[in-house]
């Protein structure tokens, strides 16, 4: 094997694991990134800048969940932008340093005997020394009419991201776990009034958070589910149903945050890398998964804060670890 620094591609002779065929002079990428959220595109920037052959594979539009955010005001040195603009800027930055993007989904990942990773994407076989998983997660939704219509128009899934837009306004959080209570407490320092709507008569959040909630001015709406989202052009309120007596209540709101969990897009690597019970990928502090040379960044991995900036940090860390892995396995 030799490494061509000019082009960042290794040229090797491998045995295809199907039928023992030789793949003479097969090109092997240094890094293949699956998914192009902020973590994946930051990995593209750092991989390209390190002169590593870096390929991003994206089955949809680059940017991940970020592109659904109409305003971003907490990214350092960029006080005002939106998800689509930041996604385009990140991709342009990655391309500037030589990273490439191909809009196709990955169907499978296999680790060959020599540690090379073989990906099948749209019928094409792609070989790489390392893989960075950046497929993200999707918020668990309420499943109500107008939910998609009002996303970004009064309805959101990340209070830490968008809470600042509701200063001195009336908001509600739907959920009963740690994230929901943390969101409600965070919003209580910003908004004029905060409701926490929970379907049970007790919370799943840890006891410390429950104590802080009891000491706050957040109004908990117990044993209630959201029956209907109100509004025409934007969200103006909700109708809740009390499960104990089926009584309905109209709550006028400026904003609603849904915090009932997320769904990690980790099906591709289920059985390949270790996942937690919720399906998030378990990594160490270097974003290394349980498989050498495979890393996970952004919302798809186990972490306490899921933000654009924390995903971007993961991307930088993963490339640093991947470069070290490549040097150690030449």
Q: What are the catalytic residues?
A: 158, 161-162
d(CA 166, CA 187) in angstroms, rounded, equals 8
């Amino acid at each position: 094997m030799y490494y061509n620094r000019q082009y960042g591609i290794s040229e090797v002779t491998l045995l295809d694991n199907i039928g023992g065929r030789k793949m003479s002079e097969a090109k092997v990428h240094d890094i293949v990134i699956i998914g192009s959220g902020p973590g994946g595109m930051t990995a593209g920037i750092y991989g390209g800048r390190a002169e590593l052959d870096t390929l991003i594979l994206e089955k949809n539009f680059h940017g991940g969940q970020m592109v659904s955010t109409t305003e971003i005001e907490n990214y350092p040195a960029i006080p005002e932008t939106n998800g689509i603009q930041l996604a385009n800027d990140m991709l342009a930055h990655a391309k500037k340093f030589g990273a490439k993007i191909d809009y196709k989904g990955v169907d499978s990942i296999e680790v060959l005997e020599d540690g090379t990773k073989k990906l099948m994407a749209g019928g094409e076989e792609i070989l790489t020394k390392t893989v960075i998983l950046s497929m993200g997660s999707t918020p668990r939704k309420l499943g109500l009419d107008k939910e998609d219509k009002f996303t970004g128009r009064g309805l959101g899934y990340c209070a830490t991201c968008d809470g600042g837009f509701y200063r001195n306004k009336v908001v509600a959080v739907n959920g009963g776990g740690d994230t929901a209570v943390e969101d409600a407490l965070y919003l209580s320092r910003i908004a004029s009034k905060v409701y926490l709507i929970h379907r049970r008569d007790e919370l799943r959040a840890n006891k410390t958070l429950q104590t802080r909630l009891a000491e706050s001015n957040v109004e908990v709406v117990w044993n209630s589910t959201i029956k209907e989202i109100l509004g025409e052009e934007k969200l103006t309120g909700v109708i809740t149903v009390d499960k104990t007596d089926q009584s309905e209540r109209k709550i006028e709101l400026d904003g609603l945050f849904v915090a009932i969990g997320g769904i990690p897009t980790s099906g591709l690597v289920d059985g390949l890398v270790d996942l937690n019970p919720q399906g998030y990928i378990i990594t160490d502090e270097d974003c290394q998964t349980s498989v050498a040379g495979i890393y996970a960044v952004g919302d798809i991995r186990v972490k306490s804060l899921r933000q654009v900036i924390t995903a971007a940090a993961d991307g930088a860390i993963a490339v640093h670890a991947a470069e070290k892995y490549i040097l150690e396995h030449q």
